[in-house]
Amino acid sequence: MSLRLFDIGKFDRKTSFTLWKIKMHAVLVQNSLHKPLTGEKPIDMKADQWKEIDEQARSLIYLYLADEILRQVIEEKTAKQVWDKLEALHLENIRVNKLLKKHCLYSLRMKKGTTTASVTSHINDFESIVTDLENLDEKIDDETKALLLLRTLPCSYEDFVDEIVDGKDAISFDEVKSSLLKISSTESSSRSRNGDVVCWNCGKIGHVSRNCDYSNSKTDS
């Protein structure tokens, strides 16, 4: 069988184990090699066929491990043993750092700069921490995630935050995320032209949203 390889990166000590685990499982599924992770041979499968599939699954996991991680599991005999050993070693590390993860989430602040790349990087950092916490049964509801993301923004985003929450009974994380990416793209391109301030509301140059005629006209009507 020809293996299908995907560029998900190798798991090392700098990589989020929870995200790598999700991607690695997807790679195994795409190769129809995920069943050995259960450790239970299907009743209708021959022993030699199961052994071959298990070896292929184990080998595929090896290909996505950095050398220092591979050394930790090289003695394991089955794909399930490799998978369980990785979880035992690295999920435990995440559990130990659960409070640290929560501290990172509540203290996270976006660095100055409003380029699309910097905002995207910040959102990725935020979502990575949230994913780690959710994998540890630290569930965060959607509206709380939205408000926490707004809380991470610097003072220069004050008008944007006001515009997002003003007059609303509810707010979603996707709404904040998409709006943040949109205004960062607008401001980045506008500032590159002449350095003027950009209104979060109408996208025009020369004023902020609280002084926006378009916003005020909507309110008056």
Q: Do 169 and 112 belong together in one domain?
A: yes
> With a cut of 50, which residues of the chain have pLDDT below it?
192-195, 215-216, 218-221
Same domain, 79 and 119: no
- Determine which helix (DSSP H) or strand (DSSP E) holds 80, and give its type and residue range: helix 79-96
The reported pTM is 0.54
The answer for residues whose C-beta is within 8 angstroms of residue 37's C-beta and 6 or more apart is 25, 28, 57, 79, 80, 83
Of 57, 76, 95, the residue at which a domain comes to its end is: 95
State whether 35 and 112 are in the same domain.
no
Task: Report pLDDT for 26.
Answer: 97
Residue-by-residue DSSP string for 116-183: HHHHHHHHHHHHHHHHHHHTTT----HHHHHHHHHHTS-GGGHHHHHHHHTT-S---HHHHHHHHHHH
Same domain, 138 and 197: yes
Domain span at 89: 17-95
Residues 148 and 179 in one domain: yes
Angle at 173 between CA 170 and CA 178, to 5 degrees: 115
pLDDT at residue number 195:
47
Number of other residues whose CB lies within 10 A of the CB of residue 213: 12
The domain boundary, picked from 45, 68, 95, lies at 95
Regarding whether 117 and 191 lie in a shared domain, the answer is yes
What is the DSSP annotation of 22-63? HHHHHHHHHTT--GGGG----TTS-HHHHHHHHHHHHHHHHH
Are 155 and 84 contained in the same domain?
A: no
Structural element, H or E, at residue 105: helix 98-107
Do 167 and 66 share a domain, yes or no? no
Contacts with 64 (C-beta within 8 Å, 6 or more apart), sequence order: 8, 9, 10, 11, 20, 24, 27
Counted domains in the chain:
2
pLDDT of residue 66: 96
pLDDT digits (tens, 9 = 90+) for 78-120: 999 999 999 988 876 666 677 888 899 999 999 876 577 788 9
Q: Is 33 inside any structural domain?
A: yes
In sequence order, the β-bridge partners of residue 65 are 11
Gap between the Cα atoms of 174 and 146, Å rounded: 8
113: left (phi over 0), alpha (psi -120 to 50) or beta: left
The one-letter code for the residue type at 49 is Q
